[in-house]
Structure 1
Amino acid sequence: MAGLKIVVKSLFFVYLYYVALTDCMTVTPEIVLEQSLWISTKDAEISEYRTPIMIRAPNGDLLAFSGARKTSHGDASAKVIMMRRSEDGGNKWGPSIFVVDDYQNTDGLNMGNVIVDEQTGAIIIIYCFCIHNECDFKKFTPTNYKTVSYDNGYTWTPSVNLADKSPFFEGWNWAPGPGYGIQKKFEPNVGRLFSCGHWGNATYGLMTCVYSDDHGETWTQSEFLVYLPNNMPKKAGDFTPGEPQIVELSDGRLLINARNQHFFHSQNRLIFYSDDGGKTFPLSKMRVDTTLIEPGCFGSTLLYRDVMFFSNPFDARGRVNMTLHWSLNEGLDWAGGLNIYTKGSGYSCLSPIDDNHIGLLFEKDGCEEMYFVKIKFL
C-alpha cells in the first residue's frame, strides 16, 4: 500500500511538472524582417499583384506566388502566375519567373491552391480558368488546370485540364483557394491531397473541397456546403462561406477556416470540421469563431509545431490592420494577437520557414505591394 501511495504521488508530481512545463511554453511572436516582394505597376509592368500564396518546398526553399493582373485591377483581367524563391529563409529573394501565362485572355486564369506532396516531392498548382461572367463561353468552357514541379519549383510541367480524368471539372465555375492545399499526415486517409474553394453568383453558390488519393491524378468532390437561402438574391446575414483554408488537426480531423461573406450569425469567421477524411463538413459541427473579426476577406490559417496561427485584416470596418493571432489549443481560443500593419491590408498567406520562424505574405496598401514579413515565434 505504501508503495502504491509513492507511485501515485510520483505520478501526481509528474503531472504537475507537465502542466508547469506546458504553461512555460509561451509563444511570443515578433517581427524580425520585412520587405516588399512585388510592387504593382512597377515590377514587370504588372497592373496589380494579388492572391498571395507561400509554401516551403521539399528542399526547404520558400516559394512565393502571386496571381498577377496584367492590365487592370479586375478579377476577370488577363493574368500570370508569378513566383519568387528564397534559399535562406526569406532574407534574400531571387528574380520573378512566369509559371503560367494566360496571355491576353479576358477572364483567363485565377490563382488557386499550391499543394506540396511530401510523399512524392511534387509541388502542384491548381488554378481555374474562365469562371467569371466576362468569359466568352463560345470559345472557352470553365474548368480547372494543374501544373506540377518535381524539382522544388525550378521547372513546371505543361498545364493539364483536370476534366480530362475527373469530368466533373468541365463547365464547373469553381475557384480553388486562394491559399495552400494540404496533404493528410494522420489517419484516416494518410497521403490524401486537398484543394478547397467556392463558387457563387448573385443567387446560388457553394463551398467545397476536392481530394485525391493518387497524388493529384484524379479527384473527388467533398459534399457541397450550399449557400442559404438557395436560388435567391443574397443579403446581410445569409450563409455564404467561401475562400476556405483547410488544415489538419493533431487527431486527424480536418478544419476549415472560411470567409463569412454575408456575415452569417455575426461578423466573424466560420469554422467547419470533418472527421471522415474530408468527405463531409457537416453543418452540425460548424461554429462561429467570435474572436476572429471578419471584414469580408480571405484569411490564412497555419497549424505548425502545435501552434495554430491566423492572419487577416482584423477590423470590422474594412481591409485594414493586418494581424496575426495564435492559439495553443488548435483554434478553440486565441492566446494573443500581434499587429503586423495598421493600414491597408488584404489577402494573406502563412507558411513555415524553420523551427522558430514562420512567414507572412500579404497584400499591402490596396494591393500596391505584395509584402513579406518574417516572424520569430519561439
Structure 2
Amino acid sequence: MRTRGGAVLAFAEGRVTGGGDSGHIDVVVRRSEDGGCTWGPLRVVADGDGDTRGNPAPVVDPGSGDVVLLSSYNGGEATEELILRGEVPADRGRRVFVQRSADDGRTFSAPREITARVKLPGWRWYATGPGHALALTRGPHAGRLVVPADHSAAPPAGSSDTGREPRYYGAHALLSDDGGRSWRLGFVDASHDGHVNANETTAAELPDGRIYLNTRDQLGTAPGNRADAVSGDGGATLARPFAPQPALDRVPVVQGSLLHAGGALLFSAPSVPDARAEPAVWRLADDGGTAVRALAVSRRKTGYSDLVPLDAGTVGLLHETGTASPYETLEFRRLPLAELTG
C-alpha cells in the first residue's frame, strides 16, 4: 500500500517455524521511500509470540492520514482444519485485531481486538484480506473504510457435515465510518449451497462509487475459479449474490488483487488454470464482464499478490514467486500503467 506521505509499505506473514499456515507467524513490513526501488529493513508489526498472526489488510484513513491495519489471529497449535471442524476453543480460534500508525508506517500501535463486533456466533474460520483494503472517495459513503474478508459457518444442527466442506465458506466485509476506531459487519455472503464458495475477496471502488468485488471460489460447482459481485451502498449489502466470473477462467484457485488506476480496473493473479504459475495482470471492464490479459509478468511460479498505485504513470505489484515453488521469495515490480490500460 502507499501512504499519504508517499511511502510504500509491503506487508507479509513472517512464518518463523516453517512454511505452513499455522505455528509462530508474525505480521511483518518493509518500507520504501522511493516508490519501491529500495527497501528498509524487515520489521515486526504484530508478534505472534508462538501463535499465528496474519492476513494483513492495510488501508489509509483519509481523514487522519493514519495507516489502519487489520489482521487475524489464532493459537499456534490451531490448524485451519481443526478450526473448520469446531475443535478449537474461542480464545485460540480465529480472532480479529486492528492497529494504527500515525507516522507514515514507521511504527504501529499494539493490536486491539474487535472480534466481538465483526464475527457472528457460529462462524469458525475467519480471515481479513489478505491485501490492501479500501477507503471510499465518492458518494454518500466517502471516507468509509471497507475491508473484504471471509469466514466459515458451522453446519446446521443435525447435519453429518464436519464444517470442513467448502460450501460453508463465505465472504463478508468489515466497515468503519470513523477512521477505523469502531467497526461493524457489512454484507455477509451466507448462501452455503456449494455453487459458489466465496473465499478470499478483493475489492475496488468504481468511478460511479459502486464497489466491485472479486472472490476466490473455493471448489464450488460453478465453472471456473473466480466469482464477482457489486455493492451499491458502500459495502453494506450486495446488489446480487456472488456469481461465476468466466472472463477470468485462466486463474487457478488462489487469492487475487484488484486496483482501479489510470481509468482501468486491474486484476493480478496466476494465469494457469490448474497451477500457481505465470503471474499476470488483467484489464477488466468495470462490470467485470470482459477481461484482457494486459501483461504476462513472467513464466515463473507465483502465488498471492497485491497491486498498489505508485504515481500517475506507475503501479506496483507485490507477489510470491519462485522457480521450483511459488513461495521462494517476495518480489516487487514497478509496472508502467500505459502498458496495462492500453
Question: Is 1:202 aligned to 2:134, yes or no?
Answer: no
> How far apart are the structure 2 equivalents of 1:280 and 1:240?
18
Name the counterpart of 1:62. Answer: 8
Pairwise mapping of residues 1-378 of structure 1 onto structure 2 (< 5 A)? 55-105=1-51, 108-130=52-74, 132=80, 133=82, 137=89, 140-163=92-115, 166=117, 168=119, 173-200=125-152, 201-203=163-165, 204-229=168-193, 238-283=195-240, 286=243, 288-327=245-284, 329=286, 331-365=288-322, 366-378=326-338
Give the superposition deviation at 1:285: 7.4
Q: Relative to structure 1, is the Cα distance of residues 121 and 292 closer, same or farther in structure 2, using a 3 angstrom cutoff?
A: farther
> How far apart are the structure 2 equivalents of 1:169 and 1:216?
19
**Runs of 4+ residues deviating >6 angstroms:** none
Give the superposition deviation at 1:95: 1.1
Name the counterpart of 1:29. Answer: none
Q: Which runs of 5+ in 1 are unaligned?
A: 1-54
Specify which structure has the bigger relative contact order, considering alpha-carbon pairs within 8 angstroms and separated by 6 or more residues.
1
Give the superposition deviation at 1:138: 7.4
Contact 1:253 1:274 in 2 (8 A): yes
> How far apart are the structure 1 equivalents of 2:136 and 2:243?
21
> How far apart are the structure 1 equivalents of 2:228 and 2:301?
25
Q: Relative to structure 1, is the Cα distance of residues 304 and 345 closer, same or farther in structure 2, using a 3 angstrom cutoff?
A: same
Give the superposition deviation at 1:171: 8.2
Amino acid in structure 2 at the alignment position of 1:180 = H
Q: Relative to structure 1, is the Cα distance of residues 345 and 65 closer, same or farther in structure 2, using a 3 angstrom cutoff?
A: same
Contact 1:163 1:170 in 2 (8 A): no
Contact 1:114 1:123 in 2 (8 A): yes
Q: Relative to structure 1, is the Cα distance of residues 171 and 78 closer, same or farther in structure 2, using a 3 angstrom cutoff?
A: farther
Give the superposition deviation at 1:283: 3.1
Name the counterpart of 1:35. Answer: none
Give the superposition deviation at 1:337: 2.2
Give the superposition deviation at 1:294: 2.8
Amino acid in structure 1 at the alignment position of 2:178 = D
> How far apart are the structure 2 equivalents of 1:284 and 1:94?
42
Q: Relative to structure 1, is the Cα distance of residues 147 and 171 closer, same or farther in structure 2, using a 3 angstrom cutoff?
A: farther
Q: Relative to structure 1, is the Cα distance of residues 161 and 358 closer, same or farther in structure 2, using a 3 angstrom cutoff?
A: same
Amino acid in structure 2 at the alignment position of 1:115 = V
Give the superposition deviation at 1:325: 1.3
> How far apart are the structure 2 equivalents of 1:334 and 1:137?
43
> How far apart are the structure 1 equivalents of 2:267 and 2:236?
24
SS state at 2:296 partner? strand
SS state at 1:103 partner? coil
Amino acid in structure 2 at the alignment position of 1:207 = A
Worse-superposed segment, 72-81 or 257-266? 257-266
Q: Relative to structure 1, is the Cα distance of residues 156 and 317 closer, same or farther in structure 2, using a 3 angstrom cutoff?
A: same
Contact 2:245 2:288 in 1 (8 A): no
Amino acid in structure 2 at the alignment position of 1:187 = G
Listed one character per residue, the Cα deviations across residues 327-372 of structure 1 (whole Å, up to 9, x for unaligned) are 4656442344211121211000000111111000111022110111
SS state at 1:188 partner? helix
Q: Relative to structure 1, is the Cα distance of residues 218 and 328 closer, same or farther in structure 2, using a 3 angstrom cutoff?
A: same
Structure with higher Rg: it is 1
Contact 1:260 1:294 in 2 (8 A): no
Contact 1:143 1:171 in 2 (8 A): no
SS state at 1:222 partner? strand
TM-score by length of 2: 0.85
Name the counterpart of 1:5. Answer: none
> How far apart are the structure 1 equivalents of 2:133 and 2:295?
25
> How far apart are the structure 2 equivalents of 1:339 and 1:215?
37
> How far apart are the structure 2 equivalents of 1:223 and 1:114?
19
> How far apart are the structure 2 equivalents of 1:368 and 1:285?
33
Task: Quote the sequence identity (%).
Answer: 26
Q: Which runs of 5+ in 2 are unaligned?
A: 153-162
TM-score by length of 1: 0.77
Give the superposition deviation at 1:293: 2.3
Q: Relative to structure 1, is the Cα distance of residues 119 and 225 closer, same or farther in structure 2, using a 3 angstrom cutoff?
A: same
> How far apart are the structure 2 equivalents of 1:335 and 1:141?
40
Listed one character per residue, the Cα deviations across residues 67-115 of structure 1 (whole Å, up to 9, x for unaligned) are 121112211121111111111111111111111111112xx21223111
